[in-house]
Amino acid sequence: MVFSNGSIWMSLAPSFNARTTSMLTSLITGDSPLSPEISERSICSSSSSFFSSSEVYGDPDDAHIPTPETYQGNVSITGPRACYDESKRFGETLCLTYWRIFELPVKIVRPFNVYGPGIRPDDYRVLPNFIEHALRGKPLPIHGDGSNTRSFCYINDAVEAIFKVLFSGVDGEPFNVGNPEPEISVKELAHLVAQAMPTRVEVAHIDPPHVVYAKSDPKRRCPDISKLRVVTGFTPRYDLITGLKRTIEWFRQRHTESERG
């Protein structure tokens, strides 16, 4: 996406259930500033942002939760998630190399579990997965014991933060984008979704259906956004309950329209 004085590079991967080779090629070749189109636009822009991911941190230990940008990560280069994690890490390396050598005006944003109206219902992320099951009257599927934690950032807050980073004067730096409050377990999230529904919804514990979720799902995910606050003045405005209600309503309207044909 290109704006009057800035651009954002986004290479969005398919789900982990899709072919991992496609994920690698789309993230690596799609990220490259060597692309004539990206290179020309970036040079003409006063600022650019690379859309990275919190997955670059891998599975942080408790001492690095909330996770700051200075944390170098605990990432497997051979595990089932490596196709995504390493591609994003390579993308960051590529961008910062061009910043150091050619003074390419680039910032890096690392989103943490962004959600809200418009999110794909079928991308298998935990929140849309729960909402879709609830609206269909099916039990909410919790993988394992549901003790893994996440911190969710509503889309309006995420977009604001990303643009604040894009138009900041700080190049060659990564920024966490997210909302650290609350850090909530998947089990707790399931019960919040169930309570927000107009009819009774059950919660069911299941075995993870895919190796990505069975063996390599990070235990905790929570951003330290101190740097984002200091540099841009950003503060999240949407709490989880408010964002959850808005998201459920969007899904509900979508289901109603679909039923009407």
Q: Which pLDDT tens digit goes with each residue over 219-253?
A: 999 999 999 999 999 999 999 999 999 999 999 99
Q: What are phi and psi of 30, to 5 degrees?
A: -70, -25
Q: Report CA torsion sign: 26, 29, 35, 38.
A: positive
Q: What is the spatial distance between Cα 230 and Cα 165, in angstroms, rounded to a whole number? A: 11
pLDDT in tens, 102-143: 888 999 999 999 999 999 988 789 999 999 999 999 999 999
pLDDT at 4 over 60: no
pLDDT in tens, 75-89: 988 888 888 888 899
Please state the rounded mean pLDDT for residues 151-164. Answer: 98
Q: What is the rounded average pLDDT for all residues in the chain?
A: 86
Q: CA-based angle 20:33:94, to the nearest 5?
A: 65
pLDDT band at 202 (very low <50, low <70, confident <90, very high): very high
Q: What is the spatial distance between Cα 231 and Cα 165, in angstroms, rounded to a whole number? A: 8
pLDDT band at 28 (very low <50, low <70, confident <90, very high): low
The pair of three-digit structure tokens given for residue 234, joined into one six-digit string:
């950003």
pLDDT at 27 over 70: no
Number of structural domains in the chain: 1
Active site residue ranges: 84
Q: What are phi and psi of 109, to 5 degrees?
A: -110, 135
* pLDDT at 34 (0 to 100): 47
Helices and strands, counts by H and E, the chain: 9, 11
Find the CATH number of the domain harbouring 8: 3.40.50.720
The pair of three-digit structure tokens given for residue 255, joined into one six-digit string:
């289901």
Q: Is 51 helix (H, G, I), strand (E, B) or coil?
A: strand
Domain region containing 210:
2-260
Q: Which of 60, 53, 48 is nearest to 91 (CA)?
A: 53
pLDDT at 45 over 70: no
Is-cis flag, bond preceding 66, omega within 30?
Answer: yes
Alpha helices, DSSP H only, in the chain?
20-31, 36-44, 82-102, 126-135, 155-166, 186-196, 211-215, 226-232, 240-260
